[in-house]
Structure 1
Amino acid sequence: MTEALFVVSEEGYWGEECVEPLETLSDAGVEITVATPSGDPPVVDERSVDPDQVGEETAEHVKEVAENDERLNDPIPIAQADAAGYDAVVFPGGHGTEWDINQDKHARELLRDIVEGDGKALVVCHAVGMLGFARDSHGAFIVNGRDVTGFPNEWEEGIVDEQDRMPDGRKLPYWVEDEVEAAGGNWDAELDADTSVTVDGDLITARGPGSSHAAAETLLEELGVELEA
């Protein structure tokens, strides 16, 4: 059986970016485990369940999954996860990843081990910022020379104020596009396209919520898994 690990933020994951891949992979028969930095249940970004932000249907569905999915509500600590035990590791996005997942050494080690091993990594939206910090086993940035997409500066400008403060008052530590480019990534968020998913070897990156389903389908293709009828 194909197995995937979802590494989800306790500081605020974007609902659709987690739920869409979670359900798409589950429908394909993939066995899923969820991990968080401390092992506490992940926390959904309130803006991603706000009907005014995402629409009533998406908001209600994400809330239902977040509240009732046993995997999301009974995660393991990231430090207990071993990349060798999974065919894929998925890092859903959300601004919250900048305060925990992207700065977590065990999360970065999982990313390193999965791309250097036999598995696939799917990194979505703000979680792509991890590539600005994650290094391979030789100390080089994993993203150096790789083609990637992710949450673009142009979109961030519409969210933070002139002091880079979020709507809830938190100071955004960095902008994803800037950090990834500084680490040597070949950045293209394909802003003229409806969706943006980039595959470079065992690393798959996706731009944002609207690319979540396409990202999940791409991961399944890369794993050689077909959706069950």
Structure 2
Amino acid sequence: MKYLVVLLALLTQQAFGQTTPKKVLFVVTSFSEVKNVGKTGIWLEELTTPYYLLTAQGIQVTIASPKGGQAPIDPRSTSESFLTPSAKKFLGDSAAQEQLKHTIALKSVKAADYDAIFYPGGHGPMWDLPQNATSIALIQTFAAQHKPVALVCHAPAALKNVKAANGDYLVKGKKVAGFTNSEEKAGGAIAMTPFSLEDMLKEHGAQYEKGNDWQPFAVQDGLLITGQNPASAELVAEKILAALAAGK
């Protein structure tokens, strides 16, 4: 499937004589620790899989965070049992690591400079992105400009306070996926969360959809793209590629 998506993107670029590379903004968390519970941050696979899939197609990726500078990685996601090929590649890729060490401050971002926005998950985003006014405004702007807005795993928490032009929650009536209550319970990480992501999405009127626990699952409603868990990061990235290709 992913090869068909990539081929579509390449043929689209050729057909329209596209020479300017597409640009995707990655927004990551700056939150690193839940007091009296443990360290958290970005779940590495959810950053690295889309990063390498997109950059392999010539897409320019910029990484931003609320505070700028070094963005935290959840240490559990670097343990051997969770290291995917893309995560292992990242740990040996000094250039990619430099990008994560020197993220740009979210407040300096201009939506007009990017063609899509993507939020990797991990528990960190649940703590510092739902109430971040800059993040909220960015998502609203990308949605209003009909640009892809993509989030995976716990990152849909960033949609909590995002509104559509009519004042409704952006997710109202839309198909949305995100980390499930059953996965949270099975992972033994409920204490790492300030709220239930699944419950919040449902309460905000989303048409919440899910696949089997821990299996790849992603949905798209218009240009809103969401994935359920770390294993869904590749599907989300493929949908970003397809959405960018279809946009020209």
TM tier, smaller? 0.7 to 0.9
Gaps of 5+ in 1: 167-171
Query: Residues 57, 20 of structure 1: CA spacing in aligned structure 2 closer, same or farther, 3 A cutoff?
Result: closer
Larger radius of gyration: 2
Matching residue of 1:97: 125
Letter matched to residue 131 of structure 2? Q
Query: Residues 109, 65 of structure 1: CA spacing in aligned structure 2 closer, same or farther, 3 A cutoff?
Result: farther
Matching residue of 1:175: 196
**How big is each residue's C-alpha offset from its partner over 1:1-20, in whole Å with a ceiling of 9 and x where there is no partner?**
20110001122010000011
Q: How many residues align?
A: 217
Letter matched to residue 80 of structure 2? P
Give me the whole-angstrom Cα distance separating, in 1, the residues matched to 2:136 and 2:105.
14
Matching residue of 2:70: 41
3-state SS of the aligned residue for 1:43?
coil
Aligned Cα RMSD in Å?
A: 2.1
3-state SS of the aligned residue for 2:226?
strand
Structure 2 counterparts to residues 156-175 of structure 1, below 5 A:
156-160=184-188, 164-166=190-192, 172-175=193-196
For the 8 Å contact 1:152–1:176, the answer to whether it is kept is yes
Give me the whole-angstrom Cα distance separating, in 1, the residues matched to 2:94 and 2:123.
17
For the 8 Å contact 2:48–2:87, the answer to whether it is kept is no
Matching residue of 2:224: 203
Match of 2:161 among 133, 150, 165: 133
Give me the whole-angstrom Cα distance separating, in 2, the residues matched to 1:151 and 1:186.
14
Shift of 1:71: 2.2
What TM-score, normalized to structure 2?
A: 0.81
Match of 1:119 among 147, 151, 155: 147
Query: Residues 157, 67 of structure 1: CA spacing in aligned structure 2 closer, same or farther, 3 A cutoff?
Result: farther
Q: Percent identity?
A: 30
Matching residue of 1:169: none
Gaps of 5+ in 2: 1-20, 32-40
What TM-score, normalized to structure 1?
A: 0.87
**How big is each residue's C-alpha offset from its partner over 1:99-152, in whole Å with a ceiling of 9 and x where there is no partner?**
112321111111111111131111111011222221124432000000011100
Shift of 1:209: 1.0
Matching residue of 1:23: 52
Query: Residues 68, 216 of structure 1: CA spacing in aligned structure 2 closer, same or farther, 3 A cutoff?
Result: closer
Query: Residues 137, 77 of structure 1: CA spacing in aligned structure 2 closer, same or farther, 3 A cutoff?
Result: farther
Shift of 1:49: 0.5
For the 8 Å contact 1:8–1:91, the answer to whether it is kept is yes
Letter matched to residue 113 of structure 1? T
Query: Residues 61, 103 of structure 1: CA spacing in aligned structure 2 closer, same or farther, 3 A cutoff?
Result: farther
Query: Residues 67, 27 of structure 1: CA spacing in aligned structure 2 closer, same or farther, 3 A cutoff?
Result: closer
